[in-house]
Structure 1
Amino acid sequence: MQLNLQDIPRVKTISKADFIQDYFKPQKPVVVEQFIEDWPAFSKWNLDYMAKVAGDKTVPLYDDRPVSHTDGFNEPHTTMKMGDYIDLLKKEPTKYRIFLWNILKEVPILQKDFTYPDFGLKLMKGLPMLFFGGTNSHTFMHYDIDLGNIFHFHFEGKKECILYPQSETKYLYKVPHSLITHESIDFSNPDFEKWPALQKAKGYKTHLKHGEVLYMPEGYWHYMKYISPGFSMSLRAIARNPKNLGKAFYNVLIMRYYDNVMRKIKGQKWIDSKNEKAIVRTNALYDSVR
Protein backbone atom coordinates (compact mmCIF):
# COMPACT_ATOMS: atom_id res chain seq x y z
CA MET A 1 0.00 0.00 0.00
CA GLN A 2 1.20 3.50 -0.84
CA LEU A 3 0.27 7.06 0.00
CA ASN A 4 -2.51 8.54 -2.12
CA LEU A 5 -0.32 10.92 -4.14
CA GLN A 6 -0.62 12.32 -7.63
CA ASP A 7 2.27 13.73 -9.60
CA ILE A 8 2.66 17.49 -9.36
CA PRO A 9 1.97 19.03 -12.80
CA ARG A 10 5.04 20.10 -14.75
CA VAL A 11 5.53 22.79 -17.38
CA LYS A 12 8.66 23.79 -19.29
CA THR A 13 8.01 27.51 -18.85
CA ILE A 14 5.01 29.60 -17.80
CA SER A 15 3.70 33.12 -18.21
CA LYS A 16 2.60 35.26 -15.29
CA ALA A 17 -1.00 35.20 -16.51
CA ASP A 18 -1.06 31.41 -16.84
CA PHE A 19 0.54 30.93 -13.45
CA ILE A 20 -2.03 33.13 -11.74
CA GLN A 21 -4.97 31.56 -13.56
CA ASP A 22 -3.96 27.88 -13.51
CA TYR A 23 -2.09 27.54 -10.22
CA PHE A 24 -2.27 30.51 -7.86
CA LYS A 25 -6.02 31.11 -8.01
CA PRO A 26 -6.94 27.41 -7.59
CA GLN A 27 -4.04 27.00 -5.13
CA LYS A 28 -2.45 24.03 -6.88
CA PRO A 29 1.26 23.19 -6.98
CA VAL A 30 3.35 23.17 -10.14
CA VAL A 31 6.96 22.50 -11.15
CA VAL A 32 8.46 24.88 -13.73
CA GLU A 33 11.40 23.12 -15.34
CA GLN A 34 13.05 25.95 -17.28
CA PHE A 35 12.70 29.30 -15.57
CA ILE A 36 16.11 30.39 -14.26
CA GLU A 37 18.51 29.63 -17.12
CA ASP A 38 19.34 33.35 -17.31
CA TRP A 39 20.36 33.52 -13.64
CA PRO A 40 24.11 33.37 -12.96
CA ALA A 41 23.11 30.97 -10.17
CA PHE A 42 21.96 28.43 -12.76
CA SER A 43 25.52 27.80 -13.94
CA LYS A 44 27.43 28.83 -10.79
CA TRP A 45 25.55 27.43 -7.82
CA ASN A 46 26.76 24.06 -6.66
CA LEU A 47 28.31 22.77 -3.44
CA ASP A 48 31.84 23.70 -4.48
CA TYR A 49 30.81 27.30 -5.20
CA MET A 50 29.03 27.59 -1.87
CA ALA A 51 32.13 26.31 -0.08
CA LYS A 52 34.18 28.92 -1.93
CA VAL A 53 32.01 31.96 -1.11
CA ALA A 54 30.72 30.90 2.33
CA GLY A 55 33.14 28.28 3.61
CA ASP A 56 34.14 30.30 6.67
CA LYS A 57 30.58 31.04 7.74
CA THR A 58 29.19 29.20 10.78
CA VAL A 59 25.88 27.60 9.82
CA PRO A 60 23.02 26.19 11.95
CA LEU A 61 22.40 22.47 11.52
CA TYR A 62 19.31 20.36 12.20
CA ASP A 63 18.69 16.62 12.11
CA ASP A 64 15.70 14.31 12.54
CA ARG A 65 16.02 13.64 16.27
CA PRO A 66 12.73 13.69 18.23
CA VAL A 67 11.56 17.08 19.45
CA SER A 68 12.64 17.74 23.04
CA HIS A 69 11.25 20.18 25.58
CA THR A 70 14.77 21.58 25.91
CA ASP A 71 14.73 22.71 22.28
CA GLY A 72 13.65 26.24 21.53
CA PHE A 73 11.32 26.97 18.60
CA ASN A 74 13.37 26.18 15.44
CA GLU A 75 16.54 26.04 17.53
CA PRO A 76 19.47 24.33 15.71
CA HIS A 77 20.92 21.09 17.05
CA THR A 78 24.52 22.08 16.34
CA THR A 79 26.67 24.40 14.21
CA MET A 80 29.57 23.91 11.80
CA LYS A 81 31.66 25.89 9.32
CA MET A 82 30.01 25.78 5.89
CA GLY A 83 33.20 24.44 4.31
CA ASP A 84 33.37 21.55 6.80
CA TYR A 85 29.66 20.85 6.34
CA ILE A 86 29.98 20.63 2.55
CA ASP A 87 32.97 18.31 2.94
CA LEU A 88 30.75 16.11 5.13
CA LEU A 89 27.95 16.13 2.52
CA LYS A 90 30.36 14.90 -0.14
CA LYS A 91 32.02 12.31 2.06
CA GLU A 92 29.07 10.37 3.48
CA PRO A 93 25.32 10.40 4.18
CA THR A 94 24.43 12.70 7.06
CA LYS A 95 21.21 13.66 8.78
CA TYR A 96 22.37 17.23 9.25
CA ARG A 97 20.52 19.88 7.25
CA ILE A 98 20.73 23.65 6.97
CA PHE A 99 17.31 25.17 7.48
CA LEU A 100 16.18 28.77 6.86
CA TRP A 101 19.61 30.27 6.19
CA ASN A 102 19.22 33.89 5.06
CA ILE A 103 21.73 34.42 2.26
CA LEU A 104 20.96 38.13 1.97
CA LYS A 105 22.20 38.56 5.53
CA GLU A 106 24.96 35.96 5.64
CA VAL A 107 26.53 36.09 2.14
CA PRO A 108 25.38 39.27 0.35
CA ILE A 109 27.44 38.50 -2.76
CA LEU A 110 25.05 35.64 -3.59
CA GLN A 111 22.31 38.24 -4.10
CA LYS A 112 23.99 39.11 -7.42
CA ASP A 113 23.42 35.59 -8.74
CA PHE A 114 19.62 35.71 -8.96
CA THR A 115 16.72 38.06 -9.52
CA TYR A 116 13.24 38.10 -8.01
CA PRO A 117 10.98 36.62 -10.70
CA ASP A 118 7.61 38.13 -11.55
CA PHE A 119 5.00 35.46 -10.95
CA GLY A 120 2.34 38.08 -10.31
CA LEU A 121 2.85 37.95 -6.54
CA LYS A 122 4.87 40.42 -4.47
CA LEU A 123 7.86 38.47 -3.17
CA MET A 124 9.39 39.28 0.22
CA LYS A 125 12.83 40.50 -0.80
CA GLY A 126 14.35 40.38 2.65
CA LEU A 127 13.87 36.63 3.07
CA PRO A 128 15.72 34.55 0.46
CA MET A 129 16.35 31.33 2.42
CA LEU A 130 18.71 28.45 1.66
CA PHE A 131 18.22 24.80 2.65
CA PHE A 132 20.94 22.12 2.41
CA GLY A 133 20.85 18.39 3.00
CA GLY A 134 22.85 15.18 2.62
CA THR A 135 21.84 11.86 1.12
CA ASN A 136 18.62 10.54 2.73
CA SER A 137 18.31 13.48 5.14
CA HIS A 138 14.77 14.77 5.42
CA THR A 139 12.49 17.25 7.11
CA PHE A 140 9.49 16.35 9.23
CA MET A 141 6.24 16.88 7.38
CA HIS A 142 5.42 20.50 8.22
CA TYR A 143 3.97 23.74 6.95
CA ASP A 144 5.52 27.18 7.23
CA ILE A 145 4.65 29.43 10.14
CA ASP A 146 3.42 32.23 7.85
CA LEU A 147 1.43 29.96 5.49
CA GLY A 148 3.07 31.84 2.62
CA ASN A 149 3.18 31.15 -1.11
CA ILE A 150 6.57 29.50 -1.63
CA PHE A 151 8.75 29.27 -4.73
CA HIS A 152 11.37 26.59 -4.10
CA PHE A 153 14.37 26.67 -6.48
CA HIS A 154 16.55 23.55 -6.41
CA PHE A 155 20.29 23.33 -7.09
CA GLU A 156 22.50 20.25 -7.49
CA GLY A 157 21.38 16.74 -6.70
CA LYS A 158 17.88 15.34 -6.53
CA LYS A 159 15.16 15.99 -3.98
CA GLU A 160 11.89 14.16 -3.21
CA CYS A 161 8.94 16.40 -2.34
CA ILE A 162 5.59 15.28 -0.89
CA LEU A 163 2.89 17.92 -0.44
CA TYR A 164 -0.58 18.08 1.12
CA PRO A 165 -3.05 20.98 1.18
CA GLN A 166 -4.43 22.17 4.53
CA SER A 167 -7.68 20.35 3.73
CA GLU A 168 -5.89 17.06 4.48
CA THR A 169 -4.59 18.12 7.92
CA LYS A 170 -7.23 16.02 9.67
CA TYR A 171 -5.59 12.82 8.34
CA LEU A 172 -1.94 13.75 8.88
CA TYR A 173 -1.53 13.31 12.66
CA LYS A 174 -0.83 16.99 13.22
CA VAL A 175 0.77 17.71 16.59
CA PRO A 176 -1.23 20.38 18.50
CA HIS A 177 0.38 23.80 19.03
CA SER A 178 3.00 23.09 16.36
CA LEU A 179 3.62 23.10 12.62
CA ILE A 180 4.52 19.40 12.24
CA THR A 181 2.92 16.00 11.98
CA HIS A 182 3.89 13.22 14.39
CA GLU A 183 7.64 12.94 14.05
CA SER A 184 7.66 9.13 13.97
CA ILE A 185 5.96 8.96 10.57
CA ASP A 186 8.23 8.00 7.68
CA PHE A 187 6.49 9.57 4.69
CA SER A 188 8.86 7.78 2.32
CA ASN A 189 7.65 4.41 3.63
CA PRO A 190 4.71 4.87 6.02
CA ASP A 191 3.41 2.11 8.30
CA PHE A 192 -0.34 2.15 7.63
CA GLU A 193 -1.06 -0.21 10.51
CA LYS A 194 0.39 2.36 12.88
CA TRP A 195 -0.87 5.43 10.97
CA PRO A 196 -4.09 4.25 9.28
CA ALA A 197 -5.56 7.72 8.65
CA LEU A 198 -2.77 8.48 6.16
CA GLN A 199 -4.63 6.25 3.71
CA LYS A 200 -7.32 8.93 3.46
CA ALA A 201 -5.00 11.87 2.81
CA LYS A 202 -4.74 13.06 -0.81
CA GLY A 203 -1.53 14.80 -1.78
CA TYR A 204 1.13 15.39 -4.39
CA LYS A 205 4.67 14.23 -5.13
CA THR A 206 7.61 15.08 -7.37
CA HIS A 207 11.39 14.93 -7.63
CA LEU A 208 13.28 18.18 -8.18
CA LYS A 209 16.47 18.49 -10.23
CA HIS A 210 18.93 21.33 -10.70
CA GLY A 211 17.30 24.50 -11.97
CA GLU A 212 13.69 23.48 -11.37
CA VAL A 213 11.28 25.55 -9.28
CA LEU A 214 8.39 24.16 -7.24
CA TYR A 215 5.44 26.38 -6.36
CA MET A 216 3.88 25.41 -3.02
CA PRO A 217 0.55 27.16 -2.37
CA GLU A 218 -0.44 28.80 0.89
CA GLY A 219 -0.02 26.64 3.96
CA TYR A 220 0.81 23.45 2.06
CA TRP A 221 2.32 20.70 4.14
CA HIS A 222 5.68 19.60 2.74
CA TYR A 223 8.11 16.76 3.34
CA MET A 224 11.52 17.07 1.68
CA LYS A 225 14.02 14.22 1.34
CA TYR A 226 17.43 14.60 -0.29
CA ILE A 227 18.04 11.69 -2.65
CA SER A 228 21.56 13.05 -3.08
CA PRO A 229 23.40 16.03 -1.55
CA GLY A 230 22.08 19.38 -2.70
CA PHE A 231 20.45 22.61 -1.72
CA SER A 232 17.48 24.84 -2.51
CA MET A 233 16.46 28.46 -2.18
CA SER A 234 12.97 29.57 -1.22
CA LEU A 235 11.38 32.90 -2.09
CA ARG A 236 7.98 33.68 -0.64
CA ALA A 237 4.94 35.90 -0.84
CA ILE A 238 2.52 36.49 2.01
CA ALA A 239 -0.74 34.57 2.20
CA ARG A 240 -3.62 36.22 0.37
CA ASN A 241 -6.45 34.14 1.78
CA PRO A 242 -7.76 35.96 4.90
CA LYS A 243 -8.15 32.68 6.79
CA ASN A 244 -4.54 31.73 6.11
CA LEU A 245 -3.33 35.22 6.96
CA GLY A 246 -5.17 34.98 10.28
CA LYS A 247 -3.52 31.63 11.02
CA ALA A 248 -0.14 33.15 10.18
CA PHE A 249 -0.60 35.98 12.68
CA TYR A 250 -1.77 33.51 15.33
CA ASN A 251 1.27 31.25 14.73
CA VAL A 252 3.77 34.09 14.82
CA LEU A 253 2.30 36.15 17.66
CA ILE A 254 0.72 33.54 19.94
CA MET A 255 1.26 29.86 19.15
CA ARG A 256 5.06 29.68 19.19
CA TYR A 257 5.34 31.66 22.42
CA TYR A 258 2.64 29.59 24.12
CA ASP A 259 4.40 26.38 23.11
CA ASN A 260 7.74 27.61 24.45
CA VAL A 261 6.18 28.61 27.77
CA MET A 262 4.51 25.20 28.15
CA ARG A 263 7.79 23.43 27.41
CA LYS A 264 9.41 25.33 30.25
CA ILE A 265 6.52 24.69 32.66
CA LYS A 266 5.72 21.04 31.90
CA GLY A 267 8.95 19.83 30.29
CA GLN A 268 8.94 16.62 28.27
CA LYS A 269 5.42 15.79 29.51
CA TRP A 270 4.15 18.63 27.30
CA ILE A 271 5.84 17.16 24.21
CA ASP A 272 4.66 13.62 24.98
CA SER A 273 1.11 14.84 25.60
CA LYS A 274 0.98 16.67 22.28
CA ASN A 275 2.26 13.62 20.39
CA GLU A 276 -0.33 11.40 22.06
CA LYS A 277 -3.14 13.81 21.23
CA ALA A 278 -2.08 13.78 17.58
CA ILE A 279 -2.59 10.02 17.48
CA VAL A 280 -5.80 9.86 19.51
CA ARG A 281 -7.57 12.70 17.69
CA THR A 282 -6.59 11.58 14.20
CA ASN A 283 -7.44 7.92 14.71
CA ALA A 284 -10.79 8.86 16.28
CA LEU A 285 -11.65 10.90 13.21
CA TYR A 286 -10.51 8.13 10.90
CA ASP A 287 -12.64 5.56 12.74
CA SER A 288 -15.68 7.81 12.42
CA VAL A 289 -15.43 8.22 8.62
CA ARG A 290 -14.35 4.83 7.34
Structure 2
Amino acid sequence: MGTVLVPLPACDFDPTEVAVSWRVLRRLGHRVRFATPGATVATADDLMVTGRGLDPWGAIPGLDRVVLVGRVLRANVVARADYAALLEDPEFTAPSGWDAVDLDTVDGLLLPGGHRARGMRPYLESERLQGLVVDAFRRDLPVAAICHGVLLAARSIDPRTGRSVLYGRRTTALTWSLESRAWRVARVTRFWDRDYYRTYVEAPGEPRGYMGVQQEVTRALRQSGDFVDVDPDNPNAALQSSGRARDSDDDARPAFVVRDANYLSARWPGDVHSFARGFAEMLAGAATE
Protein backbone atom coordinates (compact mmCIF):
# COMPACT_ATOMS: atom_id res chain seq x y z
CA MET A 1 0.00 0.00 0.00
CA GLY A 2 1.00 3.66 0.22
CA THR A 3 3.17 5.80 2.45
CA VAL A 4 1.56 8.91 3.94
CA LEU A 5 3.51 11.88 5.27
CA VAL A 6 1.92 13.80 8.15
CA PRO A 7 3.65 17.06 9.05
CA LEU A 8 2.99 18.17 12.62
CA PRO A 9 3.69 21.27 14.72
CA ALA A 10 5.98 20.85 17.69
CA CYS A 11 2.95 20.99 19.96
CA ASP A 12 -0.81 21.55 20.12
CA PHE A 13 -2.01 19.46 17.20
CA ASP A 14 -5.47 17.96 17.56
CA PRO A 15 -5.08 14.43 19.00
CA THR A 16 -8.19 13.04 17.31
CA GLU A 17 -7.35 14.23 13.82
CA VAL A 18 -3.86 12.75 14.00
CA ALA A 19 -4.31 9.58 16.04
CA VAL A 20 -7.53 8.32 14.50
CA SER A 21 -6.22 9.02 10.99
CA TRP A 22 -3.03 7.15 11.87
CA ARG A 23 -4.91 4.13 13.22
CA VAL A 24 -7.38 3.92 10.33
CA LEU A 25 -4.68 4.30 7.67
CA ARG A 26 -2.47 1.72 9.37
CA ARG A 27 -5.35 -0.72 9.70
CA LEU A 28 -6.00 -0.38 5.97
CA GLY A 29 -2.42 -1.20 5.12
CA HIS A 30 -0.75 2.19 4.71
CA ARG A 31 2.48 3.37 6.30
CA VAL A 32 2.31 6.68 8.17
CA ARG A 33 5.41 8.84 8.60
CA PHE A 34 5.69 12.07 10.58
CA ALA A 35 7.70 15.27 10.34
CA THR A 36 8.13 18.01 12.95
CA PRO A 37 10.03 21.33 12.99
CA GLY A 38 13.14 20.00 14.72
CA ALA A 39 12.72 16.24 14.26
CA THR A 40 11.60 15.99 17.88
CA VAL A 41 8.52 14.14 19.10
CA ALA A 42 5.41 16.30 18.81
CA THR A 43 2.82 16.68 21.57
CA ALA A 44 -0.90 17.16 21.17
CA ASP A 45 -2.98 19.92 22.71
CA ASP A 46 -3.27 18.61 26.27
CA LEU A 47 -6.64 20.29 26.80
CA MET A 48 -8.05 18.23 23.94
CA VAL A 49 -6.58 15.05 25.41
CA THR A 50 -7.60 15.45 29.05
CA GLY A 51 -10.27 18.15 29.06
CA ARG A 52 -8.51 19.79 32.00
CA GLY A 53 -8.55 23.56 31.82
CA LEU A 54 -11.84 23.85 29.97
CA ASP A 55 -13.99 24.33 33.08
CA PRO A 56 -14.29 27.61 35.01
CA TRP A 57 -12.14 26.16 37.82
CA GLY A 58 -9.61 24.74 35.36
CA ALA A 59 -6.81 27.11 36.36
CA ILE A 60 -6.92 26.02 40.01
CA PRO A 61 -4.41 23.25 40.82
CA GLY A 62 -6.19 20.15 42.06
CA LEU A 63 -9.65 21.32 41.03
CA ASP A 64 -8.58 21.15 37.38
CA ARG A 65 -8.88 17.38 37.67
CA VAL A 66 -12.65 17.76 38.00
CA VAL A 67 -13.67 17.72 34.35
CA LEU A 68 -17.23 18.52 33.31
CA VAL A 69 -17.33 20.84 30.29
CA GLY A 70 -13.96 19.45 29.29
CA ARG A 71 -15.42 15.96 29.13
CA VAL A 72 -17.68 17.10 26.30
CA LEU A 73 -15.10 19.12 24.39
CA ARG A 74 -12.08 16.83 24.65
CA ALA A 75 -11.25 13.86 22.42
CA ASN A 76 -13.62 10.96 22.97
CA VAL A 77 -12.64 7.59 24.44
CA VAL A 78 -11.72 6.06 21.08
CA ALA A 79 -9.51 8.98 20.08
CA ARG A 80 -7.79 9.06 23.49
CA ALA A 81 -7.01 5.35 23.18
CA ASP A 82 -5.68 5.91 19.66
CA TYR A 83 -3.50 8.77 20.90
CA ALA A 84 -2.07 6.60 23.68
CA ALA A 85 -1.19 3.96 21.08
CA LEU A 86 0.27 6.59 18.74
CA LEU A 87 2.73 7.67 21.44
CA GLU A 88 4.27 4.17 21.26
CA ASP A 89 4.54 4.06 17.47
CA PRO A 90 8.18 4.00 16.24
CA GLU A 91 7.35 6.22 13.27
CA PHE A 92 5.82 8.85 15.58
CA THR A 93 8.70 8.76 18.07
CA ALA A 94 11.35 9.14 15.34
CA PRO A 95 10.00 11.88 13.06
CA SER A 96 11.89 13.58 10.29
CA GLY A 97 12.54 17.31 10.39
CA TRP A 98 10.46 19.61 8.22
CA ASP A 99 13.59 20.68 6.37
CA ALA A 100 14.66 17.09 5.68
CA VAL A 101 11.52 15.72 4.04
CA ASP A 102 10.59 15.60 0.40
CA LEU A 103 7.84 13.84 -1.49
CA ASP A 104 9.93 11.46 -3.57
CA THR A 105 9.30 8.53 -1.23
CA VAL A 106 5.69 9.18 -0.22
CA ASP A 107 2.36 8.53 -1.88
CA GLY A 108 0.20 11.07 -0.10
CA LEU A 109 0.20 14.06 2.23
CA LEU A 110 -2.16 14.49 5.20
CA LEU A 111 -2.54 17.89 6.88
CA PRO A 112 -4.14 17.69 10.34
CA GLY A 113 -5.37 20.61 12.37
CA GLY A 114 -5.49 22.03 15.85
CA HIS A 115 -6.50 25.47 17.07
CA ARG A 116 -4.26 26.54 19.94
CA ALA A 117 -2.28 29.51 18.65
CA ARG A 118 0.93 28.72 20.56
CA GLY A 119 1.66 25.60 18.56
CA MET A 120 -0.43 25.97 15.44
CA ARG A 121 0.72 29.34 14.13
CA PRO A 122 4.29 28.20 13.33
CA TYR A 123 2.79 25.24 11.45
CA LEU A 124 0.23 27.28 9.52
CA GLU A 125 2.74 30.02 8.71
CA SER A 126 5.64 27.76 7.71
CA GLU A 127 6.96 28.62 4.24
CA ARG A 128 8.64 25.20 4.20
CA LEU A 129 5.34 23.36 4.70
CA GLN A 130 3.52 25.62 2.28
CA GLY A 131 6.14 24.77 -0.33
CA LEU A 132 5.69 21.08 0.42
CA VAL A 133 1.95 21.41 -0.15
CA VAL A 134 2.51 23.21 -3.46
CA ASP A 135 4.85 20.39 -4.52
CA ALA A 136 2.25 17.76 -3.60
CA PHE A 137 -0.41 19.45 -5.74
CA ARG A 138 2.00 19.86 -8.66
CA ARG A 139 2.79 16.14 -8.50
CA ASP A 140 -0.93 15.36 -8.32
CA LEU A 141 -0.36 13.36 -5.14
CA PRO A 142 -3.38 12.56 -2.98
CA VAL A 143 -3.68 15.32 -0.37
CA ALA A 144 -6.03 15.29 2.62
CA ALA A 145 -6.62 18.25 4.95
CA ILE A 146 -8.89 18.55 7.95
CA CYS A 147 -9.91 21.52 10.11
CA HIS A 148 -7.02 24.04 10.31
CA GLY A 149 -5.01 21.80 7.99
CA VAL A 150 -7.14 23.22 5.19
CA LEU A 151 -5.89 26.68 6.18
CA LEU A 152 -2.32 25.50 5.60
CA ALA A 153 -3.35 24.35 2.12
CA ALA A 154 -5.19 27.61 1.42
CA ARG A 155 -2.06 29.60 2.33
CA SER A 156 0.11 27.51 -0.01
CA ILE A 157 0.61 29.78 -3.02
CA ASP A 158 1.89 28.27 -6.25
CA PRO A 159 4.45 30.80 -7.55
CA ARG A 160 3.63 29.81 -11.13
CA THR A 161 0.07 31.11 -10.76
CA GLY A 162 0.29 33.45 -7.76
CA ARG A 163 -2.76 31.67 -6.36
CA SER A 164 -3.54 29.17 -3.66
CA VAL A 165 -3.37 25.49 -4.56
CA LEU A 166 -7.06 25.41 -3.60
CA TYR A 167 -8.01 28.02 -6.19
CA GLY A 168 -10.50 26.35 -8.52
CA ARG A 169 -11.17 23.47 -6.13
CA ARG A 170 -14.08 22.66 -3.87
CA THR A 171 -13.27 22.30 -0.19
CA THR A 172 -14.64 22.34 3.29
CA ALA A 173 -12.79 23.23 6.51
CA LEU A 174 -13.63 24.20 10.07
CA THR A 175 -16.82 26.17 9.54
CA TRP A 176 -17.51 29.47 11.25
CA SER A 177 -20.57 27.87 12.81
CA LEU A 178 -18.45 25.22 14.56
CA GLU A 179 -15.58 27.57 15.37
CA SER A 180 -17.74 30.35 16.80
CA ARG A 181 -19.80 27.96 18.93
CA ALA A 182 -16.69 26.49 20.57
CA TRP A 183 -15.27 29.99 21.00
CA ARG A 184 -18.42 31.23 22.74
CA VAL A 185 -18.32 28.33 25.20
CA ALA A 186 -14.63 28.78 25.99
CA ARG A 187 -15.00 32.53 26.49
CA VAL A 188 -17.15 31.67 29.51
CA THR A 189 -15.67 28.43 30.83
CA ARG A 190 -12.02 29.35 30.18
CA PHE A 191 -12.49 33.03 30.94
CA TRP A 192 -8.79 33.67 31.72
CA ASP A 193 -7.89 32.62 28.15
CA ARG A 194 -10.95 33.77 26.24
CA ASP A 195 -9.58 33.24 22.75
CA TYR A 196 -8.27 29.69 23.29
CA TYR A 197 -10.44 28.37 20.43
CA ARG A 198 -9.39 31.11 18.00
CA THR A 199 -6.01 30.64 16.37
CA TYR A 200 -6.35 34.10 14.83
CA VAL A 201 -8.64 36.89 16.00
CA GLU A 202 -9.85 39.95 14.18
CA ALA A 203 -7.92 43.21 14.26
CA PRO A 204 -9.78 46.42 15.10
CA GLY A 205 -12.10 47.31 12.25
CA GLU A 206 -12.30 43.80 10.83
CA PRO A 207 -15.77 42.22 10.83
CA ARG A 208 -16.54 39.43 13.27
CA GLY A 209 -15.30 36.13 11.91
CA TYR A 210 -13.01 37.70 9.29
CA MET A 211 -10.06 35.66 10.59
CA GLY A 212 -12.10 32.51 11.05
CA VAL A 213 -10.90 29.44 9.17
CA GLN A 214 -13.90 29.34 6.84
CA GLN A 215 -13.56 32.98 5.92
CA GLU A 216 -9.81 32.87 5.22
CA VAL A 217 -10.05 29.66 3.23
CA THR A 218 -12.93 31.10 1.20
CA ARG A 219 -10.85 34.17 0.30
CA ALA A 220 -8.30 31.84 -1.32
CA LEU A 221 -10.86 30.13 -3.57
CA ARG A 222 -12.00 31.07 -7.04
CA GLN A 223 -15.56 31.71 -5.83
CA SER A 224 -17.28 31.64 -2.45
CA GLY A 225 -19.50 28.75 -3.54
CA ASP A 226 -16.42 26.53 -3.71
CA PHE A 227 -16.47 26.41 0.09
CA VAL A 228 -18.85 23.55 0.81
CA ASP A 229 -20.90 23.03 3.96
CA VAL A 230 -23.62 20.58 4.93
CA ASP A 231 -26.63 20.51 2.63
CA PRO A 232 -29.67 21.28 4.83
CA ASP A 233 -31.69 18.83 2.72
CA ASN A 234 -29.35 15.98 3.55
CA PRO A 235 -31.20 13.47 5.78
CA ASN A 236 -28.20 13.52 8.15
CA ALA A 237 -27.89 17.32 8.20
CA ALA A 238 -28.91 17.69 11.84
CA LEU A 239 -26.26 15.21 12.97
CA GLN A 240 -23.61 16.69 10.70
CA SER A 241 -24.25 20.23 11.90
CA SER A 242 -24.76 19.57 15.60
CA GLY A 243 -21.16 20.08 16.72
CA ARG A 244 -21.71 17.22 19.16
CA ALA A 245 -22.18 14.06 17.09
CA ARG A 246 -18.96 12.42 15.91
CA ASP A 247 -18.54 9.65 13.39
CA SER A 248 -17.00 6.29 14.27
CA ASP A 249 -15.73 3.14 12.64
CA ASP A 250 -19.32 1.94 12.35
CA ASP A 251 -21.31 5.14 11.85
CA ALA A 252 -20.49 7.65 9.13
CA ARG A 253 -23.75 9.59 9.41
CA PRO A 254 -22.36 12.56 11.41
CA ALA A 255 -19.40 13.01 9.04
CA PHE A 256 -19.06 15.51 6.25
CA VAL A 257 -16.14 15.29 3.83
CA VAL A 258 -15.58 16.80 0.40
CA ARG A 259 -13.51 15.25 -2.38
CA ASP A 260 -12.26 17.15 -5.42
CA ALA A 261 -10.10 14.90 -7.64
CA ASN A 262 -6.92 14.11 -5.65
CA TYR A 263 -7.85 16.42 -2.76
CA LEU A 264 -9.97 15.48 0.27
CA SER A 265 -11.12 17.84 3.04
CA ALA A 266 -13.08 17.66 6.28
CA ARG A 267 -14.23 20.08 8.96
CA TRP A 268 -13.37 18.90 12.47
CA PRO A 269 -12.55 15.83 14.60
CA GLY A 270 -16.13 14.61 14.26
CA ASP A 271 -15.44 13.77 10.61
CA VAL A 272 -12.14 11.99 11.08
CA HIS A 273 -13.05 8.30 10.68
CA SER A 274 -14.74 8.94 7.34
CA PHE A 275 -11.97 11.35 6.37
CA ALA A 276 -9.25 8.76 6.98
CA ARG A 277 -11.17 5.98 5.25
CA GLY A 278 -11.78 8.22 2.26
CA PHE A 279 -8.10 9.09 2.07
CA ALA A 280 -7.15 5.42 2.24
CA GLU A 281 -9.45 4.78 -0.72
CA MET A 282 -7.80 7.62 -2.65
CA LEU A 283 -4.36 6.18 -1.97
CA ALA A 284 -5.43 2.70 -3.06
CA GLY A 285 -6.96 4.14 -6.21
CA ALA A 286 -3.83 6.12 -7.03
CA ALA A 287 -1.73 2.98 -6.62
CA THR A 288 -3.72 1.16 -9.30
CA GLU A 289 -3.60 3.98 -11.88
Shared fold (TM-score, shorter chain, > 0.5):
no
Answer with 1 or 2: which has the greater Rg.
1
Higher helix share: 2
TM-score (norm 2): 0.25
Bigger relative contact order, structure 1 or 2 (CA pairs below 8 A, ≥6 apart): 1
Higher strand share: 1
